[in-house]
Amino acid sequence: MAPKKRIRGSTRTSQSCSKEETKTGSLSEDSVVESAQGVKGKRKAVTSGKTRKQSISKDELHERPQFCHWLMKSEPESRFENGIDVKFGIEDLKALPNQRGCWDGVRNYQARNFMRDMKEGQQAFFYHSNCKEPGIAGIVKIVKESYVDHTQFDKNDVHYDASSKADNPKWSMVDVQFERMLKRFIPLSEMKKIHLEHKARVGPLKDMALFTRPRLSVQPLTSGKWRSLPVMYTPLKVYISVNIHCSKKLREHVIITV
């Protein structure tokens, strides 16, 4: 769920990835599938006598996917839980002071873990879900990295979790800030069409979590997925980027005209 109120964040220098495949290791499409579909919520116990950092081998660090872009879902239409409206669309974020708020209420371990991986300065698509026309409405920026989600301790909040303790909190959140609206709303139906084309052509959106894990509210995107969505390029340009057999002349023509 999206933020309901603004929480002041730190003023640390913005960090962003210059590449999806960082120097810690290249990111293949297979590793993306494993991360998007098979990451477990439970963390492994630390080996006795070693810190978690020490127990991770260099090979494990090289194999760990590093994401720089995200897709975050929220509901733009009113829906009541225990008498509380959980509605929060991109216009609600824009209406907050400094157009900034905390992304609270996430109660899925994998989505939580993805938020813990987010870095200040990274971008995310603001996706409208559970509504008449779901799709991507705009882009937000991560302005504060993960910290304890206070709503898990609030008995009056719909996301209260009695099993979570103050000395061992289960849930985290990040702060996001509105960056811009898209030139046009990108509906789910359009992205699904491209997804199916990419499955046939082995394109970057063939295993996008939006379709392979549709209930996941926070999802990672590789650079290839981020660039291939019609938000960033026209559908024609997406097709050209995937069709490696097209002529150089045609590619140049597309770059000039779109």
Domain assignment of residue 18, yes or no: no
Domain assignment of residue 50, yes or no: yes
Render 193-237 in DSSP notation, one character per residue. HHHHHHHHHT-TTTT-HHHHSTT-SEEEE-HHHHHHSTTTS-HHH
- Give the model confidence (pLDDT) of 9-32 as tens digits: 443 444 445 444 333 333 333 333
Domain of 57, in residue numbers: 29-182
Domain assignment of residue 207, yes or no: no
CATH number (domain holding residue 147) = 3.10.590.10
pLDDT at residue 3, rounded to an integer: 56
Residue 72: pLDDT band (50, 70, 90) is: very high
CB 74 within 8 A of CB 126: yes
* Residue carrying structure tokens 């879900």: 129
Domain assignment of residue 75, yes or no: yes
140, pLDDT greater than 80:
yes
pTM for the model stands at: 0.68
- Give the model confidence (pLDDT) of 218-257 as tens digits: 999 987 777 767 655 443 333 333 333 444 444 333 332 2
Distance CA 136, CA 50 (A): 44
| Total tally of structural domains belonging to the chain | 1
Domain assignment of residue 95, yes or no: yes
Q: Of all residues in the chain, what percent carry a pLDDT higher than 90? A: 57
* Residue carrying structure tokens 């937000």: 140
Domain assignment of residue 142, yes or no: yes
Domain assignment of residue 54, yes or no: yes
- Positive or negative, the CA dihedral 212, 226, 33, 58 is negative
Domain assignment of residue 155, yes or no: yes
